[in-house]
Homo-oligomer: A and B are copies of this chain.
Amino acid sequence: MARITIADIARRAGVSTGAVSYALNGRPGVSEATRERILAIAADLGWAPSSAARSLSGARTETVGLVLARDPQTLGFESFYMQFVAGIESVLTERDYGLLLQVAPDLDAEVRTYRKWRAARRVDGIVVVDPRLDDPRIAMLSVPEPLPAVVVGDPGLAEGLTTVWTDDAAAMRESVRYLHALGHRDVARVAGSEGFGHTWIRDEAFRSETTALGMRGQLRSTDYTPEQGALATRDLLGSGRRPTAIVYDNDVMALSGLGVAAELGLTVPADLSLIAWDDSPLCQATFPQLTSLSHDVVAYGAHVARRLFDRMAGEPVGGFHDSTPQLRVRGTTGPLT
C-alpha cells in the first residue's frame, strides 16, 4: 500500500496542503475546528511523518527529554522530582511539547540514551539533572553538534553548557548562622547522596560556616530515603554529644527526624531544632510545622524549560541563577533552652 501523503489528507479534507501542514505541525494558520478535522482524517488514513523527511527538513520532534538515573523504587520518595517535572510540563504544555521521560539504572545508561535519542532524532533538547563531580554526561554533551541541553546545577559543574541553578551554599550558610544566633553550638547535617555536586556544595558550606562560627558540625550521609533519615537521626541523638539542631537534605528525612524525636520523648523545638530542605506541602502538614529552606520547585522546573527553549532556538550558552532557597521559619526551630 502506498504511503499516505499530505496531498491525500488535503484531498479528503477538502483543504489545501498548506492547511494540512499547519495542522499536522501544530502551527497557527488553521482554526481549531479545522485542525481537529484534519488530525482525525490523518489518523483515519494512518498518516505518519517519515522520519527521514523530518530529519531532512529539520522538523521538530516537539519533544524534550529527561533521563533520571535512579532506582525506580526510590523515585517516589521525594516530592522534588514530581514538582520539578510538573514545572517543566507547565511550559511544554503551552507550546504543545511532550516530555520523554526515561529512568536509567546508571550514568552510562543515561549517556547511551542520549546517543540513541540523538541518532534517532527523538528529542529537540534535554534537561540534565544531578550533575556530579567529573560527570561523564557533561563531556559527552560538550562534543560538537550536541543536543541542546540545560543542566540543572551549579555552573562550575557543567562548563560549556547552559545551567540553571539555585545558590545552595548561600542557603546552607544562612541556616547555620540562624542556628548560631539561636544559641546552638552543636549542629548536624543529614546529607543526601555522596557524589552529587549539590551534596558536595552543601557539605562544604556547612563545614566552612560551622568552622567559621566556632560550632561543632557533624555530618551523616544518606540516600535521601525516610528510612536512612530516621537511622541517621537516631545515630546522632544516641551519640555521646548529641546535636541540638539538625539540617536535613530534603523534606521526608526531616519528617522522619520529627518522628524519631517524638519517639524518643524529645520536644521539638525545646530539645531539638529541625530544618528541612525543599519546602513541600508536607512541611506545613506536620505539627509543629517544619522550618524549611524554601524554593519554588515548580517555578524552577518552568525556568529550566524556558531556558531550554531559548537554547533550542539558538540562544548562546549561559549560567542562570534561579533563586537562593529562603529560610522559612516555622515551628521546628527555636532558641537553645
Contacts and interface: CB of A to CB of B under 8 A. Distances in A.
B285 A259 contact: yes
Contacts of A98: 65, 100-102, 113, 122
A76 B286 contact: no
A234 B86 CA distance: 29
A305 to B, nearest CB: 11
A298 B83 contact: no
A255 B65 CA distance: 34
A252 interface: yes
Contacts of A76: 79-80, 82-84, 86, 280-281, 297-298
A89 interface: yes
Contacts of A286: 255, 258-259, 286
A103 B4 CA distance: 30
Interface in A235-274: 252, 255-256, 258-260, 262-263
Interface in A22-52: 24, 26, 36, 39-40, 42-43, 46-49, 51-52
Q: Label chain A's interface by main secondary structure.
A: helix
A81 interface: yes
Contacts of A92: 102-103
A15 to B, nearest CB: 15
B48 A53 contact: yes
B43 A118 contact: yes
Copies in the complex: 2
Interface residues of A, number: 80
A170 to B, nearest CB: 24
A337 interface: no
Interface stretch (A157-165, A193-201, A208-216, A222-230): A222-230
Nearest to A67: B98
Given A86-B76, A102-B92, A298-B72, A115 B285 contact: no
A82 B252 CA distance: 15
A42 B56 CA distance: 13
Contacts of A39: 115-116, 119
Interface of A: 1, 4, 24, 26, 36, 39-40, 42-43, 46-49, 51-53, 56-57, 59, 63, 65, 72-73, 75-87, 89-90, 92-93, 98-105, 112-113, 115-116, 118-122, 225-227, 229-230, 252, 255-256, 258-260, 262-263, 280-282, 284-287, 289, 297-298
**5 shortest interchain CB distances as A-B pairs:** A76-B83, A89-B103, A262-B287, A48-B121, A75-B86
